[in-house]
């Protein structure tokens, strides 16, 4: 490990404080999260009585401290709402899991603290800082700019193999270097633990770039036309060799353009229904849909990827059977939800985030985590941002960010690599959903009607001014 690692890790909190001094707080939050996720080392330090110190925990500590010093009134702006309840349950669920498994209250509180720092704090920061259109717009642009900055780094590793983390920080982030090889070439990892989160990030950056360019929200960055920047990110994403992310991008683009063309968010609602149905069938019944999925995708996916997917599903079936033995609150931590042979060797690999949540925190944990990530998507498109508004310049960043969160939930079914930036986005979307409408005449006004009313008022005001000038 390089001497640079502790300097960067423990120096990050002062950097976050400096950002709050130099730029607006909303932008400082976004920059802190994105820069930490993309560039800080995959390292952790054990702290007595506290969660492990990682690049994202350092970011959360730094932002909370900066808010307390420079923007303490922001804390009082938070008002607990019904939409926050699933996240609260998810953060507290490990306590019930520990108590019901005889692991003790100390273990439960320790796990609650870790879960809160990993999930609850990013969500909370999104709620208090990104709960408006401008904040979500900046976050969507930040995701795209992060993808742009990653372009040369990804291209370097595609050509020379994933070496940047070793060059700068002195060690490889993932213990199995063979997983960086894909389709006869290299899959970049840059400063992340695996190529999968890199592929997911570049997918999100491509999706955001395509939609913001198509809707005219951004015409150029750094004096470069947007179309060339989008092309650069998209080509780099394709070269990242992440098969699942390819399908996610096609799905996301399809959802957005179908919504624009037919003025309906039905594809998103169908996707949410499919996700919930998949989780319910696999976790609560003894019926598995993995064989049907394998048979449907085998004609379009290479054989080695089919084998990988089959391996995941086989492991999931074993782990689900074990999880059902503690179906309400799960097995708790310490690997109790995994399966070991007589020699004490682990024989299962939990590849997906949902199976980890189900095994450790049971149905209550799985349901609360799923709801906390999907509820902002559902309520945003149902109440605040109908498909008619998706192409509008003001609503386009919110629309594409909401779709990206929905796609992250699909990734949630397949892989176990969390991304705190999407949790931050969930908090921002939730904060925007629960805001009171600006009109005083009617409490609930459809977004499209409200926009038309504003346009009519502007037209009437212009007409009145012209009459006054003529007189």
Q: Own/partner pairs for 297-305, CB < 8 Å, 24+ apart? A: 301/243, 302/183, 302/243, 305/243
pLDDT in tens, 437-463: 544 333 343 444 455 445 545 555 555
464 part of a folded domain: no
SS3 state of residue 56: helix
Element (H or E) spanning 199, and its range? helix 195-214
Which 8-state DSSP code applies to residue 346? B
- Pairwise CA distance, residues 89 & 114, whole Å: 14
For residue 243, name the pLDDT band (cuts at 50, 70, 90): confident
pLDDT at 254: 97
CB atoms < 10 A from the CB of 85, how many? 14
397 part of a folded domain: yes
Give me the domain span that covers residue 420.
78-433
pLDDT in tens, 285-308: 877 666 677 777 777 777 777 777
Element (H or E) spanning 52, and its range? strand 50-53
């799905």: which residue's tokens?
Answer: 251
198 part of a folded domain: yes
pLDDT at 460: 53
pLDDT in tens, 74-102: 999 999 999 999 999 999 999 999 999 99
For CA atoms 416, 420, 422, 423, the dihedral sign is positive
pLDDT at 454: 54
Which 8-state DSSP code applies to residue 340? B
288 part of a folded domain: yes
Nearest alpha carbon to residue 184 among 35, 302, 325: 302
Nearest alpha carbon to residue 339 among 357, 313, 317, 363: 317
Do the beta carbons of residue 195 and residue 380 sit within 8 Å?
no
448 part of a folded domain: no
Instruction: Kindly report the backbone phi and psi dihedral angles of residue 46, in degrees, each rounded to the nearest multiple of 5, phi listed first.
Output: -75, 130
Do the beta carbons of residue 9 and residue 47 sit within 8 Å?
no
45 part of a folded domain: no
Mean pLDDT, range 409-414, rounded to an integer? 87
Tally of structural domains, the chain: 1
- Pairwise CA distance, residues 44 & 54, whole Å: 5
469 part of a folded domain: no
Do the beta carbons of residue 29 and residue 63 sit within 8 Å?
yes
- Pairwise CA distance, residues 125 & 128, whole Å: 5
For residue 333, name the pLDDT band (cuts at 50, 70, 90): confident
For residue 261, name the pLDDT band (cuts at 50, 70, 90): very high
For residue 334, name the pLDDT band (cuts at 50, 70, 90): confident
Q: Say how many CA atoms lie within 13 Å of 313 toward its Cβ.
A: 17
84 part of a folded domain: yes
For CA atoms 218, 223, 227, 231, the dihedral sign is negative
Do the beta carbons of residue 147 and residue 205 sit within 8 Å?
yes
High-pLDDT (> 70) share of the chain, %: 91
- Pairwise CA distance, residues 390 & 267, whole Å: 14
Read out DSSP for 114-159? HHIIIIIHHHHHHHHHS-SHHHHHHHHHHHHHHHHHHHHHHHHHHH
Q: Which alpha helices (DSSP H) does 302-444 contain, by range? A: 303-323, 353-379, 396-414, 420-433
444: CB partners within 8 A, 6+ apart: 383, 437
SS3 state of residue 181: strand
Q: What is the pTM of this model?
A: 0.89
């Amino acid at each position: 490990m390089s001497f640079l690692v502790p300097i960067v890790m423990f120096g990050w909190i002062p950097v976050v404080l400096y950002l709050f001094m130099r730029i607006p707080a909303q932008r400082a939050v976004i920059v802190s999260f994105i820069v930490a996720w993309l560039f800080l080392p995959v390292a952790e330090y054990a702290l007595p009585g506290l969660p492990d110190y990682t690049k994202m925990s350092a970011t959360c500590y730094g932002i909370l401290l900066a808010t307390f010093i420079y923007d303490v009134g922001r804390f009082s702006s938070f008002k607990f709402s019904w939409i926050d309840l699933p996240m609260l349950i998810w953060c507290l669920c490990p306590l019930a899991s520990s108590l019901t498994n005889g692991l003790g209250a100390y273990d439960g509180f320790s796990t609650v603290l870790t879960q809160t720092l990993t999930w609850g704090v990013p969500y909370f920061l999104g709620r208090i800082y990104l709960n408006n259109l401008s904040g979500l717009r900046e976050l969507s642009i930040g995701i795209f700019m992060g993808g742009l900055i990653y372009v040369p780094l990804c291209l370097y590793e595609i050509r020379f193999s994933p070496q940047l983390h070793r060059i700068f920080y002195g060690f490889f982030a993932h213990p199995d270097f063979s997983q960086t090889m894909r389709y006869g070439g290299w899959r970049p990892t840059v400063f992340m633990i695996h190529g999968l989160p890199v592929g997911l990030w570049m997918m999100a950056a491509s999706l955001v770039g395509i939609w913001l360019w198509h809707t005219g929200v951004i015409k150029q960055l750094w004096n470069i036309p947007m179309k060339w920047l989008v092309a650069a990110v998209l080509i780099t994403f394709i070269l990242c060799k992440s098969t699942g992310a390819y399908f996610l991008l096609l799905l996301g683009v399809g959802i957005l353009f179908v919504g624009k063309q037919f003025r309906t968010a039905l594809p998103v609602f169908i996707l949410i229904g499919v996700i919930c149905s998949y989780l319910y069938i696999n976790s609560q019944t003894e019926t598995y849909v993995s064989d049907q999925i394998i048979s449907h995708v085998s004609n379009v996916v290479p054989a080695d990827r089919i084998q990988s997917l089959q391996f995941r599903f086989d492991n999931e079936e074993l782990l689900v059977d074990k999880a059902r033995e503690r179906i309400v609150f799960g097995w708790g931590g310490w690997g109790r939800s995994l399966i070991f042979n007589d020699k004490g060797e682990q024989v299962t690999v939990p590849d997906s985030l949902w199976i980890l949540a189900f095994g450790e925190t049971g149905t209550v944990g799985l349901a609360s985590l799923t709801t906390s990530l999907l509820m902002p998507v559902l309520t945003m498109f149902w109440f605040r941002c109908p498909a008619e508004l998706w192409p509008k310049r003001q609503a386009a960043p919110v629309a594409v960010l909401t779709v990206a969160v929905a796609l992250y939930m699909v990734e949630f079914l397949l892989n176990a690599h969390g991304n705190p930036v999407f949790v931050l986005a969930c908090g921002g979307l939730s904060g925007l959903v629960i805001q009171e409408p600006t009109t005083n005449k009617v409490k609930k006004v459809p977004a499209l009607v409200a926009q038309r009313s504003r346009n009519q008022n502007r037209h009437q005001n212009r007409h009145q001014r012209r009459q006054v000038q003529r007189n």
